[in-house]
């Protein structure tokens, strides 16, 4: 009898679990159907969408710099249903607005509202452009000036454990020619690469990166790409003893320290392991108020290309004698 009751209870629990699973599955199905209908309703309504289109000027006189009063972008406010807007985005709605300056030989003002038909895809069925900003674009020409500036790579690099930079990072090209009005380019001393996240690298990296866009739309770059080579090698631990130098004391005093050498521990690339010795470092002993009976050791100079430099001990004993 007892076994029969236990079997009945187990059967009841199993049937209950199955019912709960069926009900939960039906609940999720209803939520999914409701969400789909909500999406259909929202996308079916007419809405306003804002997009920004870059302006490309062609037939600029070779020896002239083009000065544009406003940004080299035009913003459109478009009215249409969500479905048609999504379809347009898939079809690359945000194309470029091409302006041929040969068409404006007798004027220095461009009516952008009249140019919207240059972007063919914007005139898609059931999409209406209701606003253009700026509506007009003023421009002028000045003497073109050029200048070559070095390219700067400022991205942060994180290496895998016990790996690091082998030699200097190389870029090709290492400089870029910029052009524009003299007053706009004369203060520019270098040009930065767009920052990227470079993490957990354990081998050489060859990257093709883009240069930062000009903040001033009147300044143009001869090229906007750079190849970056990052040489990487394995690092290993090295320990060396380095003599301690004493910071200048009073001329009538002589000082003796104990110990006279300090141990340095650091990580160094395998290619530089043998070349880095005690002569590459300078450790000095200085007196501080917090440790009157001892001298504190400080690293005055250390070579580049090492990591996790540690010094031991940090304090040394000393004796002062009168000469």
For 232-277, the pLDDT digits (tens) are: 999 999 999 999 988 766 555 677 888 889 999 999 999 999 999 9
Tell me, what's the pLDDT at 248? Answer: 62
DSSP assignment string, 28-92: HHHHHHHHHHHHHHHHHSEEEEEEEEEEEEES--TTEEEEESS-SEEEEEEEEEHHHHHHHHHTT
> Based on the domain organization, do 316 and 253 belong to the same domain?
yes
State how many domains the chain has.
Answer: 4
Strands of 225-230's sheet in order across: 170-172, 225-230, 205-210
Neighbours of 134 (CB within 10 A): 15
Segments in the chain below pLDDT 50: 8, 90-92, 120-122
> Based on the domain organization, do 274 and 315 belong to the same domain?
yes
Tell me, what's the pLDDT at 294? Answer: 84
**Is 270 in contact with 231 (CB distance < 8 Å)?**
no
How far apart CA 285 and CA 315 sit, in angstroms, is 8
Tell me, what's the pLDDT at 148? Answer: 95
**Is 268 in contact with 303 (CB distance < 8 Å)?**
no
Look up residue 266 and give its two tokens: 């650091």
Cβ neighbours for 269, distance < 8 A, ≥ 6 positions apart: 164, 165, 166, 233, 234, 235, 305
How far apart CA 257 and CA 317 sit, in angstroms, is 6
> Based on the domain organization, do 66 and 100 belong to the same domain?
yes
pLDDT digits (tens, 9 = 90+) for 6-43: 554 565 555 556 666 667 667 677 777 777 766 666 55
Tell me, what's the pLDDT at 122? Answer: 46
> Based on the domain organization, do 223 and 246 belong to the same domain?
no
Tell me, what's the pLDDT at 99? Answer: 85
Tell me, what's the pLDDT at 120? Answer: 47
Look up the domain containing 283 and give its range: 235-322
> Based on the domain organization, do 23 and 87 belong to the same domain?
no
How far apart CA 105 and CA 323 sit, in angstroms, is 89
How far apart CA 141 and CA 108 sit, in angstroms, is 9
Cβ neighbours for 246, distance < 8 A, ≥ 6 positions apart: 255, 257, 284, 285, 295
Tell me, what's the pLDDT at 1? Answer: 57
> Based on the domain organization, do 102 and 173 belong to the same domain?
no
Tell me, what's the pLDDT at 82? Answer: 61
> Based on the domain organization, do 174 and 222 belong to the same domain?
yes
Q: Domain end: 142, 175, 198, which one?
A: 142
């Amino acid at each position: 009898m007892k076994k029969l009751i236990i079997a009945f209870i187990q059967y009841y629990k199993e049937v209950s679990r199955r019912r709960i699973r069926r009900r939960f599955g039906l609940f999720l199905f209803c939520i999914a159907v409701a969400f789909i209908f909500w999406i259909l309703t929202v996308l079916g309504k007419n809405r306003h969408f804002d997009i920004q289109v870059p302006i490309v000027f062609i037939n600029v006189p070779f020896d002239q710099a083009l000065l544009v009063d406003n940004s080299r972008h035009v913003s459109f406010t478009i009215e249409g249903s969500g479905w048609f807007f999504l379809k347009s985005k898939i079809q690359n709605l945000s194309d470029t607005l091409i302006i041929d300056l040969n068409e404006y030989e007798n004027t220095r003002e461009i009516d952008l509202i009249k140019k919207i038909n240059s972007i063919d895809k914007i005139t898609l069925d059931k999409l209406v452009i209701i606003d253009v900003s700026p509506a007009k674009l003023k421009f002028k020409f000045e003497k073109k000036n050029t200048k070559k500036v070095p390219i700067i790579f400022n991205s942060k690099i994180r290496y895998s454990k016990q790996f690091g930079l082998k030699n200097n990072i190389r870029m090709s090209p290492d400089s870029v020619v910029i052009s524009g009005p003299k007053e706009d380019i004369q203060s520019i001393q270098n040009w930065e690469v767009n920052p990227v996240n470079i993490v957990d690298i354990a081998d050489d990296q060859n990257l093709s990166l883009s240069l930062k866009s000009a903040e001033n739309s009147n300044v143009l770059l001869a090229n906007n790409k750079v190849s970056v080579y990052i040489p990487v090698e394995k690092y290993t631990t090295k320990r060396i003893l380095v003599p301690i130098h004493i910071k200048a004391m009073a001329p009538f005093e002589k000082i003796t320290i104990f110990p006279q050498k300090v141990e340095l521990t650091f990580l160094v690339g395998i290619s530089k392991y043998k070349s880095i010795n005690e002569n590459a470092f300078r450790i000095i002993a200085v007196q501080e108020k917090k440790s009157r009976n001892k001298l504190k050791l400080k690293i005055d100079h250390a070579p580049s290309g090492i990591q996790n430099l540690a010094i031991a001990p940090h304090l040394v004993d000393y004796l002062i004698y009168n000469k």
